[in-house]
Amino acid sequence: MKSVVILISGRGSNMRSIVEAGLAANVRAVISNRPDAGGLAYAREHGIATAVVDHTQHPDRTAFDRALAQEIDRHAPDLVVLAGFMRILTPGFVEHYAGRMINIHPSLLPAFTGLHTHRRAIEAGCRIAGVTVHFVTGELDGGPIIAQTAVPVLAGDDEATLAARVLAQEHLLYPRVVRWFLEDRLTLQHGRAVLRDEATPAAGALTAPGADD
């Protein structure tokens, strides 16, 4: 069975959606850079090993990333899942996990990298918003896109209502992508995410790749 390590910084609802999806995977550990991350308690309660690698206890990014990689590699995961992990990673760290580290970002990339995506989408007058799962590269929120789900931006939406609509889709999309990786169907090839046996999405479908795989 393949193994996964999940990195979080906060409440960990995406981590939870992966744990609860009943995937054929061994979630070896949940690691946080913040001792107060809400998701740590959930992981502990569910018998998952947890660890904190506190970025404030390291002199610089390189030292922090080195300590983090050491903690991750103790578990020898096949896949590293960033789930609301709010740290900029050094090139060496990213290179070490090339093709086996994925991230979820609450916008339709390449639009709205970085923070406050929902507010910025509303301010820009977007009619659709959404979520992207991508392989992690050295470029912030810039790695090869694996899958996206779009949601409408409704009249009267504020940051909170839009965030909630997107988050509901995050919880569906992320476990699916993790499953593809565990099934050896998802790879990074020549800088692009390749999904084997991809179902053809129905015309006009808002989710890609295919909804019925």
Q: Which residues contact 56 (CB under 8 A, 6 or more apart)?
A: none
| 207-208/192-195 β-pairing | unpaired
Task: Work out how close the CB of 55 gets to ligand GRF at its nearest, in angstroms, rounded to a whole number.
Answer: 16
> Residues 194, 168: contact at Cβ < 8 Å?
no
Distance CA(6)–CA(28), nearest Å, equals 8
With respect to ligand GRF, which residue has the nearer C-beta, 6 or 195?
Answer: 6
Using alpha carbons, list the distances in angstroms from residue 8 to 37, 100, 126, 206: 7, 17, 29, 28
Binding-site size, ligand GRF (CB under 6 A): 13
Q: Can residue 11 be called a binding residue for ligand GRF (CB under 6 A)?
A: yes
> Residues 170, 131: contact at Cβ < 8 Å?
yes
With respect to ligand GRF, which residue has the nearer C-beta, 66 or 111?
Answer: 111
Q: Can residue 169 be called a binding residue for ligand GRF (CB under 6 A)?
A: no
Task: Work out how close the CB of 178 gets to ligand GRF at its nearest, in angstroms, rounded to a whole number.
Answer: 13
Q: Can residue 94 be called a binding residue for ligand GRF (CB under 6 A)?
A: no
Distance CA(147)–CA(113), nearest Å, equals 16
Host H or E run for residue 42 = helix 39-45
**End-to-end Cα separation, the chain, in angstroms:** 21
Window 105-144: contact mask with ligand GRF (x via CB under 6 A):
xx--------------------------------------
Q: Can residue 50 be called a binding residue for ligand GRF (CB under 6 A)?
A: no
Which listed residue (5, 6, 12, 72) binds ligand GRF by CB under 6 A? 12
Q: Can residue 69 be called a binding residue for ligand GRF (CB under 6 A)?
A: no
Residue nearest to ligand GRF (CB): 84
Is residue 105 part of the annotated active site? The answer reads yes
Binding site residues, ligand GRF, CB under 6 A = 8, 10-14, 83-84, 104-106, 167, 170
Instruction: Provide the annotated active-site residues.
Output: 105
